Structure formats: C-alpha cells, structure tokens
Amino acid sequence: MTAYPIGVEVSCDGPAEQTACPDSAAVSTRFASRTARQVRADGRSDGWARRRRAGRLVDLCPHCATTP
C-alpha cells in the first residue's frame, strides 16, 4: 500500500499565546489547494490573518484576529 499526502491543515493559534481558539477553527481548503501557502491564501480570502507573536508567525481566524 502506498500513502500519498492529501494536503495540509492550517488551524487558528488562538487570541493569545496561552489561549486556544474558542472555535477550534481551521481554514476550509479549496479542492486545488495542496500546500500550506495555498491554504493560507484561501484563509486570507475568508478573513484569516497572519501575525507575528513572540518571534514567530501565527494564523488567526476572523474571530481571534479581532479579539484584543
């Protein structure tokens, strides 16, 4: 049997460093999206944000991106 990767999942890192996303959100991918870059582009079109926190990049769903 051979296993093939079917894509990637990008999930929300939560509103704060020690807080998980209350919605357990993940970017809904399009059928053609296979790489993390493509999935993140899908997320940006749905309102997702990518910010720097504590020296690393985090992905935030629309709800967590607007939480102060």
What average pLDDT score do residues 54-58 get?
91
Give 58's pLDDT tier (boundaries 50, 70, 90): very high
List, for residues 17-49, the tens digit of each pLDDT value. 889 999 888 888 777 888 888 889 989 988 999
The torsion angle over the Cα atoms of residues 42, 61, 12 and 50, rounded to 10 degrees, is 70
Domain boundaries of the chain, sorted by first residue: 1-68
What average pLDDT score do residues 43-68 get?
90
Q: Locate the DSSP E strands across the chain.
A: 49-53, 56-60
**Model confidence, pTM:** 0.77
Out of 7-11, 22-26, 34-38, 57-61, the most confident range is: 57-61
Contact predicate 31/21, CB 8 Å: no
